[in-house]
Every structure is written in structure tokens, then in C-alpha cells.
């Protein structure tokens, strides 16, 4: 029997009320809230709990396996149930109150990503209640440390790897259906991430003799480091059209009016122009065509009358597919070109491999997206940030990063911001999307 929307909405609101806030130091997190969330899923989705093999992996990961008629082409649907804190100003609703107002549910995690977790569980539970058996094994992989880049999802992927399971299809958060479309594209766009840039942190430091500020040398440690800062900003990483970006232009080309179509489908011809234009087209486009460096930390002495004996600067680099964190380290050293400045790689991840789009899995996803949003263009793109699905890179070539929801620019801003909320309509469209998807996998 089909469950009433009202009942499902109550469950979703219960999920939002659990304060599953993750911290870099997880000893600060409220483990009882995480446990209560896990118990809630088992309780409210009884067919899922009954039919699936369930295990908890890593710090707080949940993995369900719904056995299919075959185990040859397993699929994984992903989400995470930890959320970022909601302590910023501007909330007009209780961030953990799950208040229903004007057709929307307000609360931390409604979009990122308890909304998709709920939709996956609701769709699978509903289908199971109707006697459905998946064609292939279906795994639901729910992490609880995504926001803090913890290892939970890594533990889930490691488990699957050890079990020799190679997913034929993985879907995690990422792009979305963008109602405003893209420049030149006068319709909605469903953008599916097929690769992620790498992220690496570097520390640049200068040591000096110190001493009294009354008799300074020509350059203090800070002055010397500032020169390195200027050089990094003056010499951005070279612009290049990476494979995911070329694919984006090529795949979106047929959706365009005739004139733009040529430019989009022959984007390679325009590569020199693209490189020249990139800095002028704004930060989003610029980030698409090059590794970027952001100077984010600057430390020296905190007294006015003392020369700093050390100055340090933190740089966050987002690395384009095809490049590496060691390559970026060498580039920074080359650009700084100063033996007094030490450049160290602190931590980071390389870009992910690029997922296949010339395959049945990509077509399947396109089909389900087009059935749910018939008037939307469909295309691949590259994510600037990191998601948990990068942990699956080793065991699958078909990892797609797409949140099946319509999200306006204003809504996307509330992710990690104030008044995060989802419309009830959007939420149930998402449930329908997963309901269609699981019957195709």
C-alpha cells in the first residue's frame, strides 16, 4: 500500500530534528543523536529494515544491501546524514525544529543531504512493500562524517572492495537541476558531476633572526613571505580545457540554439580564446579551466615591537583533473623562486578519475532525469569541491555526482548557510526520481 505523503513528511521532519552535527574532532559530536538517527531509519522504514542486510562500518557509516536477482551489476546510492553546525546568523526558523512553513521544511540538512537520504530510503521501502526485487544488488551507503572529510565512507568503500564488489553505478550528491540554466542555455539544466578537482593545502614559511623592531633588516620574514604571496597571485596555474569540461560543452551542445551549438561542440578550436578569457569570465569559469590557489592563512608575530622570527602562509589549491598535488607543489616552488621560502604540502587529495559517459549507465541516468524533468538539458560537469563518492574511485568507473532536486541559486546558498530549507514538492519529486531509478538498476 502506498504510504501517505503526510506520514512520510512526518518521518522526514523527525530526521531533521536529530542533531547529527559532525566536528573535525568527533569526540565533540553527540554520538547519541547519530545513534538515534540510525535507529529512526530502521524503525520508520520497516520493509527496508526487514529485507536488507545491514551493517555499520567505520565510525558511523550505514550500509544496506538489498539482494537483487543478480549480483553481477551492483549499484550504490549514497547520501550522508551528518550536517554542518547551524550557528550562523540569519536563521528565521529553528535549524533543528523542522518547521513547516509556506510549503517548505526548514532545517539544517534538508538539502545537504538528509533530503536525498530520506528520498532513497522512502523509495526503496515503498518498492519493497509492493513486492519489488531489484534486478541487481542495491547498496545504500550512508556516511556520517562527510562534512569533516572523515573516514567513514572510506571504510564502507574498503569493505566493498574487500568483498570484491565493483559497483556498476554509484550516485552521490553533487550537481542538481538548476532552474536558471547556464549562460547561453535558455532552459533548466541537470548537471551531473563526473569528476572532482583535488584539494591540497600548502604551508609556506620563512624563518628569520628576529630581534627588535627598532632596527629592522630590509625585509622581515613577513615582507619576504608577502613577496611570495604576490608572485602566486600574479602567476595563476596555466589554463587548460580538461576532459570533463570538454565533455560538458560537447554534451550540452545539442541543447543549444544553432549559433552557439557550433561553438559548444567544437570547443577545442576555441581553446586559446578560452584561456585568454578565463580570468575575465569570473571565478566560476576560471575555476573550471585551471587549478586555483587561494591564499587563506597568514601568520607572523603578534607584537608591534618584535621582529617576527617566523612567518607562515597557508594556501588552498584546487587541482584540475590530469594534474597532481605534487605537481602543484612544484609549481608553487617554481613561482615563488625564493630559497628562503619553504613550501610544504600539508595534506590533500588528487583529483578523482573521470567517470565514463559513453556507457549504458550514463544513458540510464539521463533517461530517468529526463522523465522526471522533461524540460531540462542534461550534461556532465566537474565539481570544485569534494564529496564522499571519491572513496569509490578505486572500485567503480561509473560514479555520478548529482542531487536529484531543483535548486535555485538562492537555495544553493542556504547549503551550509542560514535558513536551509526544501520545498515539499521538491522533496517528493526526489522520492519519485529514486523510485524510477531503482527499477532500472
Binding site for Zn ion (CB under 5 A): 112
Shortest Å, Cβ 416 to Zn ion: 6
Instruction: Name the minimum Å distance from CB 114 to Zn ion.
Output: 11
Q: Shortest distance, CB of residue 176 to Zn ion, whole angstroms?
A: 13
Element (H, E) at 431: helix 424-440
**Of 351, 339, 278, 343, nearest to 315 (Cα)?**
343
Look up 146 and say whether it is catalytic. Answer: yes
Secondary structure class of 241 (helix, strand, coil): coil
Catalytic position from the list 112, 146, 323, 420: 146
Q: Helices 5-17 and 31-44: crossing angle, nearest 10°? A: 170
Q: Which is nearer to Zn ion, 84 or 335 (CB)?
A: 84
Considering beta carbons, is residue 324 or 349 the nearer one to Zn ion? 349
79: nearest Cα among 170, 155, 199: 170
Could you tell me the CA-to-CA distances from 158 to 69, 72, 155, 257, 413 in Å, in that order?
A: 24, 19, 5, 46, 33
Closer of 112 and 406 to Zn ion (Cβ): 112
Catalytic site includes residue 323: no
Q: Please report how close the Cβ of residue 172 comes to Zn ion at its closest, in angstroms.
A: 12
**361 or 419, CB closer to Zn ion?**
419
Residue nearest to Zn ion (CB): 112
- Min dist. Cβ of residue 143 to Zn ion (A): 11
Q: Concatenate the DSSP letters of all residues of 19-35 into one string.
A: --B--SSGGGS-HHHHH
Residue 255 or 420 with smaller CB distance to Zn ion: 420
320 vs 379: CA distance, rounded Å: 19
> What does residue 285 show for φ and ψ, rounded to 5 degrees?
-65, -40
Helix or strand (DSSP H, E) at 54: strand 53-57
Q: Which of the residues are catalytic?
A: 82, 146
Amino acid at each position: 500500500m502506498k504510504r501517505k505523503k503526510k506520514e512520510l513528511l512526518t518521518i522526514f521532519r523527525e530526521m531533521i530534528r536529530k542533531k547529527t552535527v559532525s566536528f573535525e574532532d568527533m569526540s565533540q559530536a553527540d554520538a547519541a543523536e547519530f545513534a538515534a538517527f540510525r535507529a529512526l531509519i530502521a524503525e520508520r522504514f520497516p520493509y527496508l529494515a526487514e529485507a536488507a542486510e545491514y551493517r555499520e562500518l567505520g565510525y558511523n557509516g550505514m550500509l544496506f544491501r538489498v539482494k537483487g536477482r543478480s549480483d553481477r551489476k551492483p549499484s550504490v546510492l549514497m547520501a550522508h546524514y551528518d550536517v554542518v553546525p547551524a550557528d550562523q546568523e540569519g536563521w528565521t526558523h529553528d535549524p533543528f525544529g523542522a518547521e513547516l512553513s509556506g510549503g517548505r521544511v526548514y532545517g539544517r540538512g534538508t538539502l545537504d543531504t538528509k533530503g536525498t537520504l530520506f528520498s532513497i530510503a522512502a523509495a526503496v521501502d515503498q518498492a519493497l512493500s509492493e513486492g519489488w526485487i531489484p534486478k541487481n544488488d542495491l547498496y545504500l551507503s550512508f556516511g556520517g562524517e562527510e562534512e569533516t572529510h572523515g573516514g567513514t565512507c572510506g571504510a564502507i568503500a574498503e569493505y566493498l572492495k574487500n568483498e570484491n564488489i565493483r559497483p556498476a553505478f554509484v550516485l552521490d550528491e553533487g550537481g542538481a537541476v538548476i532552474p536558471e540554466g547556464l549562460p547561453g542555455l535558455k532552459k533548466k539544466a541537470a548537471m551531473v558531476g563526473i569528476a572532482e578537482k583535488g584539494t591540497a593545502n600548502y604551508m609556506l614559511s620563512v624563518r628569520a633572526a628576529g630581534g627588535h623592531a627598532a632596527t629592522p633588516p630590509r625585509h622581515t620574514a613577513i615582507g619576504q613571505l608577502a613577496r611570495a604571496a604576490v608572485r602566486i597571485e600574479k602567476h595563476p596555474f596555466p589554463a587548460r580545457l580538461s576532459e570533463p569540461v570538454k565533455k560538458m560543452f560537447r554534451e550540452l551542445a545539442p541543447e543549444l540554439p544553432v549559433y552557439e551549438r557550433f561553438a559548444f561542440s567544437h570547443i577545442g578550436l576555441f581553446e586559446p580564446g578560452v584561456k585568454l578569457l578565463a580570468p575575465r569570465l569570473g571565478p566560476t569559469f576560471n575555476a573550471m579551466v585551471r587549478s586555483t590557489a587561494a591564499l587563506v592563512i597568514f601568520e607572523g608575530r603578534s607584537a608591534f615591537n618584535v621582529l617576527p622570527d617566523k612567518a607562515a602562509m597557508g594556501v588552498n589549491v584546487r587541482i584540475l583533473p590530469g594534474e597532481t598535488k605534487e605537481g602543484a607543489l612544484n609549481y608553487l616552488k617554481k613561482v615563488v623562486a625564493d630559497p628562503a621560502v619553504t613550501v610544504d604540502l600539508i595534506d590533500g587529495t588528487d583529483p578523482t578519475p573521470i567517470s565514463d559517459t559513453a556507457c549504458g549507465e550514463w544513458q540510464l541516468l539521463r533517461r530517468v532525469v529526463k522523465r522526471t524533468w522533461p524540460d531540462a538539458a542534461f550534461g556532465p560537469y566537474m565539481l570544485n569541491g569534494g564529496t564522499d563518492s571519491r572513496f569509490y574511485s578505486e572500485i567503480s568507473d561509473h560514479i555520478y555526482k548529482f542531487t536529484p532536486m531543483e535548486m535555485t541559486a538562492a537555495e544553493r546558498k542556504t547549503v551550509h548557510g542560514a535558513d536551509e530549507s526544501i520545498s515539499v514538492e521538491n522533496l517528493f519529486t526526489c522520492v519519485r526520481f529514486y523510485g524510477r531509478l531503482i527499477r532500472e538498476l
